[in-house]
Amino acid sequence: MQKSKVIEFDDVDIWQEDKLVLSKVDFKLATAETCYIIGKSGSGKTSLLKTIYGSIPVRSGHAVVAGFDLNELTDTSIPLLRRKLGMVFQDFILFDEWSVGRNLMYIMEATGWKDRAQMTARVLQVLEMVGLTGHEKKPVTALSGGEQQRVVIARALLNNPPIIIADEPTGNLDPDTSDEILYLLNRLSREFGTSIIVATHDYRLIQKFPARVYKCEGGKITEVG
């Protein structure tokens, strides 16, 4: 049985202001599927991700992400789209002076959660999902780099998104810790049906955790075997 698609780009041209970055993009991602996006700096990887999360408008072709038609996106629907997307970046972007739990609570407040008991329960739940049970009161500065990236992944999971976008998620981590993070992302995909996009320069990860690979090169994106 064919899995449903959480992302479908058909014949999409991706522009950065007046520069055509990627042309005729055909890109699909199924429920619970992981894929990699590779390519040199400036090849269009980040522009593709920005289009997926609504920072770059779709001018031509057709694109649907998590049920949102990107051709019809408005200023009011962009935040709703982004609640369907968990974002994981190379730079952790955590508030160092806060505890792990406070970092997570802040995001929940910003995305409309109100019930404190439900919020506390969800914080404990996502920390358990990423292997950080009991860390909610720890200051962020007391954590290792790998643990901080796990907090970032926990933060990405708070609103139970169908898609996680990981942009160079292991860029600041050593190989062993990088493997732990990719293993965690793969487990989330298997156990919770989360679809995951990993943009990376680390070809070692692709060999160790195989999945479909798309390459940005020469203004095009193509699937590579």
Helix (H), strand (E) at residue 27: strand 19-30
pLDDT of residue 112: 83
Of 10-19, 61-70, 166-175, which range is least confident? 166-175
Q: Residue 2 — pLDDT band, cuts 50, 70, 90?
A: low
Distance CA(70)–CA(52), nearest Å, equals 8
Q: Residue 170 — pLDDT band, cuts 50, 70, 90?
A: confident
The mean pLDDT value of the chain amounts to 92
Distance CA(218)–CA(167), nearest Å, equals 20
pLDDT, tens digit (0-9, with 9 covering 90-100), for 28-41: 999 999 999 999 98
Two tokens at 32?
Answer: 């619970």
pLDDT of residue 201: 87
pLDDT of residue 3: 73
Q: Residue 5 — pLDDT band, cuts 50, 70, 90?
A: very high
Whether the model pTM is above 0.95: no
pLDDT, tens digit (0-9, with 9 covering 90-100), for 87-133: 888 777 899 999 999 999 999 998 889 999 999 999 999 999 999 99
**What is the C-alpha radius of gyration for the chain, rounded to an integer number of angstroms?**
17
For 80, half-sphere exposure in the C-beta direction (CA atoms, 13 angstrom radius) is 10
pLDDT of residue 173: 86
Please name the residues in contact with 180: beta carbons below 8 A apart, sequence gap of 6 or more: 146
Q: Say yes or no to pLDDT of 1 above 80.
A: no
The share of the chain scoring above pLDDT 70, in percent, equals 99
